[in-house]
Amino acid sequence: MSGQVEQIAPELEVQEWLNGDPILLSQCRGRVVVVYAFQMLCPGCVHHATPQISRLHEMFSKSDDAVVIGLHTVFEHHDVMGPEALKVYIHENRLNFPVAVDRPTAGSRIPRTMATYELQGTPTIVLIDRHGQFRAKYLGPVEDMSLGVAIGRLLAES
C-alpha cells in the first residue's frame, strides 16, 4: 500500500459500551485494532464471525499488540435487536470482547458509525493499523488463515 495515502479511521460513534469501558481509537495508536461489525441475529455473524472474533480476542488478550472491538451495527429488525437483547446474547454466549452499540441515526435505518465507515452489511471486519489508518475491510466470511496473515502483516509494522 506504499505510495497511497491511507485514511485515519474516525472514532466510533457509540450509544453504549458493553463488556468494559469506552475505547477511543486515538488511544489505541501503536496497536492494531480489529473492529467487528455485527448483528446479533445475523446467521453469518452467529455461526462464523462471532466465534472467530472470540478466538482472536482470546489470542490477543494478554498482549498489548492488538485490540479487538465488537460494533453492533443494527440496520434491520431494529425492534428485536436493541441493547437489552444484545446484552442477553452477549451473556448467553459468554462473549468477553468489548462491544460498542452503534449510535442510531435519526431518520435512517443505518446507524452512524456504519454510515461513516461505509459498511455494506454484516459481518464486516475492519483492520486499522498502528497509526490509526484503515487498512482492510472484509464483508462476509473470511477464513482464519487469511485474517491471521493480514493481521500479522500489520503487527510487524513499527
Question: Interface residues with a second copy (CB under 8 A)?
Answer: 41-43, 46-47, 52, 55-56, 59, 77, 79-82, 84-85, 88-89, 92-93, 143-157
**Least Å distance between CB 56 and a second copy?**
6
CA gap 120, 118 in Å, rounded: 6
**Least Å distance between CB 135 and a second copy?**
12
Looking at the Cβ atoms of 29 and 55, the one nearer to a second copy is: 55
Amino acid residing at 127: L
User: Grid coordinates standing for 148?
Assistant: 491471521
**Least Å distance between CB 78 and a second copy?**
10
Looking at the Cβ atoms of 28 and 41, the one nearer to a second copy is: 41
Distances (CA, A) of 65 to 61, 143, 155, 158: 9, 21, 7, 11
Say whether 23 sits in a helix, a strand or coil: coil
Looking at the Cβ atoms of 25 and 81, the one nearer to a second copy is: 81
Say whether 17 sits in a helix, a strand or coil: strand
